[in-house]
Amino acid sequence: MRRARAEADAPPAWGVGCGAAPNRCTRRLRAGLLLLFVWAGGAAAGDLDSYGASAKRFDLPPITESFLAAVEVFPETGLLAGNFELAGRALVLVDRDLYLQRARGSSSFVRVAWLADPVDPSFVRISPDGSRIALGLGFARDLLVLPTSILDPVAPPLLDAHPQVDRFAVGYFDAAWLDGTSKLVLSAFTGVSLLDLEGGGAPVPLVTGGPLDAAGSGGVAVVHRPGSATDGALLVGIGFDPATGRTGEIRAFSAVELAAAIAAGTPLDFEAGALVAERVLSANSLAVDPAGNLVVGGGDFLSADPDESGYAALVAAEVLERALAGAGGPVDESDPGEYRELAPDPCGDDAATGALVAPTGPAVGVMFNPNEGRPCQAPASDLWLPGTRPAVTLLAAEGASDGDGDGIPDLLDNAAATFNPDQRDSDGDGYADVADADLDGDGRVGLRDFFERFRPCIGLDPSTSPGCAAADFDGDGTVGLRDFFTTFRPRFGSEEPFE
């Protein structure tokens, strides 16, 4: 029996528009509705209740030309895109555009690259060091691999024609970086394979057998925990298996097993993998956080069990550790120390959740379809259609990094370098008022901001003076000298991002 779902403190889910094409929907569920963020840092292994000490939702750019979106969060890295530090910011592929989050935890994005045609993306996968990005453009579409260095918020490059973008005509549902930057693990109808980005050639079979041959794999994830017993382990989920009912089964293979299989050129047998979970959603989305806890997304809404949808699951690190050590069976879903369900929204009816983890936490997240403005419906009723605006809920754990000491973890903070516990953003541009003196929204604090937007508001009460709320930087109810000396003057001449 599964533990009661944690409605109030949980992450989200996400779905797909199927219409009258169930086969197409099935492919999309396996290929694209999974997104996992892994935040670095990490609560103690198995300390599942620690997640949610702080939580925040942000909305992604709306889907207007396609059905899906894909998202991931940058790891700790010193890399930049223009003036934007990438660490902790979300990267989102929607329609034909690749967006970067303006402020961490905000719902405002800037375009940093684009494609000639809209796509239904399967995944965005950022390498562990942040230097390369793999984009799964969707069913029967190419896989793109690009250097992070070409992302540009001022002059976004066209990826289709860029000389530094590599294109691979391979099949996939999901992907995970096996190493730092050169090898990708791909799941597909033919099982799990390994693609060497530098060596060229076709993907090499890595895990086959069992339901992988008959139905196809779901999510894949690689553990990146240097010095731990599970470092380098591969997790593989069954995304859809109507024949034997093993949808949602998850198995793991150690780094030693993987290395031996690659050296011998002989794929591993799925049935011989360590059993981590017998049935969790559709295992379409897998990620492992720096503490070793496993996040699972998906939604087995095509089965006869409607309970396998509408949430994401958190599996304790100790479950994976003992499975790989051969010291125990799969996760016990009735044990709150081993398993926790995270409901994506109050209705809990999302057709497929996207699990996320990010490296500046610790935190876990879930992408979902809010489908707001309508009453709650039956389980698995939230399908994706053009016009959907996906959302992500991030749940930080106790002890998450908070550089400015305002009680808001950096990963969720819209002014991570400036104390602002109220998180006010009066003009809705993603930047907190306390750090944002760009009142005309042109990306730079200049004379026009002062003469046209700030000076006319001096001495006025923002609550009764339209257009003056953003100029009350300190939020004391009056636009005055303190706002000028503490925020406007120090930031004069600066350009976004404003932190």
pLDDT tens column, 456-472: 999 999 999 989 999 99
Q: What is the pLDDT of residue 272?
A: 96
CATH of the domain at 332: 2.120.10.30
Whether 373 and 454 share a structural domain: no
Looking at 129-280, list the stretches that DSSP marks H as alpha helix, in order from N- to C-terminal side: 211-214, 255-264
Residue 9 lies in a domain: no
Beta bridge partners of 194: 185, 204
- Inform me whether the pLDDT recorded for 404 exceeds 70: yes
Q: What is the pLDDT of residue 6?
A: 38
Distance CA 252, CA 256 (A): 12
Residues near 208 by beta carbon (within 8 Å), at least 6 away in sequence: 190, 191, 192, 267, 268, 269, 270
- For 319-357, write each residue's pLDDT tens digit: 999 999 999 889 999 999 999 998 888 788 888 889 888
Whether 185 and 102 share a structural domain: yes
- Domain final residue, candidates 349, 383, 412: 412
Q: Give counts: helices (H), strands (E), the chain.
A: 7, 27
- Inform me whether the pLDDT recorded for 32 exceeds 50: no
Assign 464 to helix, strand or coil.
coil
Whether 442 and 355 share a structural domain: no
- For 98-148, write each residue's pLDDT tens digit: 999 999 999 999 999 999 999 999 999 999 999 999 999 998 899 999 999
- When mean pLDDT is compared across 119-133, 363-377, 436-450, the lowest value belongs to 363-377
Q: What is the pLDDT of residue 304?
A: 58
Beta bridge partners of 317: none
Share of the chain above pLDDT 70, in %: 88
Q: What is the mean pLDDT of residues 351-375?
A: 81
- Inform me whether the pLDDT recorded for 406 exceeds 90: yes
Residue 39 lies in a domain: yes
- Inform me whether the pLDDT recorded for 232 exceeds 80: yes
Whether 182 and 237 share a structural domain: yes
- Cβ neighbours around 155 below 10 Å, total: 7
Whether 191 and 148 share a structural domain: yes
Distance CA 16, CA 240 (A): 15
Q: Tokens representing 358?
A: 């990010």
Distance CA 316, CA 293 (A): 5
- Inform me whether the pLDDT recorded for 28 exceeds 70: no
Q: What is the pLDDT of residue 300?
A: 78
Residues near 268 by beta carbon (within 8 Å), at least 6 away in sequence: 206, 207, 208, 253, 257, 258, 261
Q: What is the mean pLDDT of residues 295-314?
A: 82
Q: What is the pLDDT of residue 236?
A: 97
Strand 191-196 versus strand 204-208 pairing type? antiparallel
Residue 419 lies in a domain: no
Whether 481 and 370 share a structural domain: no
- For 150-167, write each residue's pLDDT tens digit: 999 999 999 999 999 999
Residue 371 lies in a domain: yes
Q: What is the pLDDT of residue 217?
A: 74
For 99-161, give the DSSP string.
Answer: EEESSTT-S-EEEEEE-SS-----EEEE-TTSSEEEEE--TT--EEEEEGGG--SSS--BGGG
Q: What is the mean pLDDT of residues 424-451?
A: 96
State the chain's mean pLDDT as an integer.
Answer: 86
Whether 396 and 442 share a structural domain: no
Whether 300 and 167 share a structural domain: yes
Q: What is the pLDDT of residue 216?
A: 67
Domain count, the chain: 2
Q: What is the pLDDT of residue 175?
A: 96
Residue type, 93: L
Q: Is the pTM of this model over 0.75?
A: yes
Q: Are 207 and 187 in contact (CB under 8 A)?
A: no
Q: What is the pLDDT of residue 130?
A: 94
- Inform me whether the pLDDT recorded for 34 exceeds 50: no
Share of the chain above pLDDT 90, in %: 66
Q: What is the mean pLDDT of residues 386-392?
A: 87
Q: What is the pLDDT of residue 21?
A: 34
Burial pattern 354-390, b for ≥16 Cβ within 10 A else e, equals: bbbbbbbbbbbbbbbbbbeeeeeeebbbbbbbeebbb
Assign 320 to helix, strand or coil.
helix
Distance CA 274, CA 331 (A): 12
Whether 407 and 440 share a structural domain: no
Residue 267 lies in a domain: yes
Residue 422 lies in a domain: no
Beta bridge partners of 188: 191
- Cβ neighbours around 451 below 10 Å, total: 10
- Inform me whether the pLDDT recorded for 363 exceeds 70: yes
Higher-confidence residue of 58 and 360: namely 58
Distance CA 244, CA 476 (A): 63
R_g of the chain, CA atoms, integer Å: 23
Q: What is the pLDDT of residue 24?
A: 32
37: confidence class by pLDDT, cuts 50, 70, 90 = very low
200: confidence class by pLDDT, cuts 50, 70, 90 = confident
Whether 102 and 165 share a structural domain: yes
Whether 399 and 481 share a structural domain: no
224: confidence class by pLDDT, cuts 50, 70, 90 = very high
Residue 453 lies in a domain: yes
Q: What is the pLDDT of residue 491?
A: 96
Dihedral pair phi/psi, residue 313, rounded to 5°: -120, 145
Whether 265 and 332 share a structural domain: yes
Q: What is the mean pLDDT of residues 8-13?
A: 32
Q: Which domain holds residue 442?
A: 433-491
Residue 424 lies in a domain: no
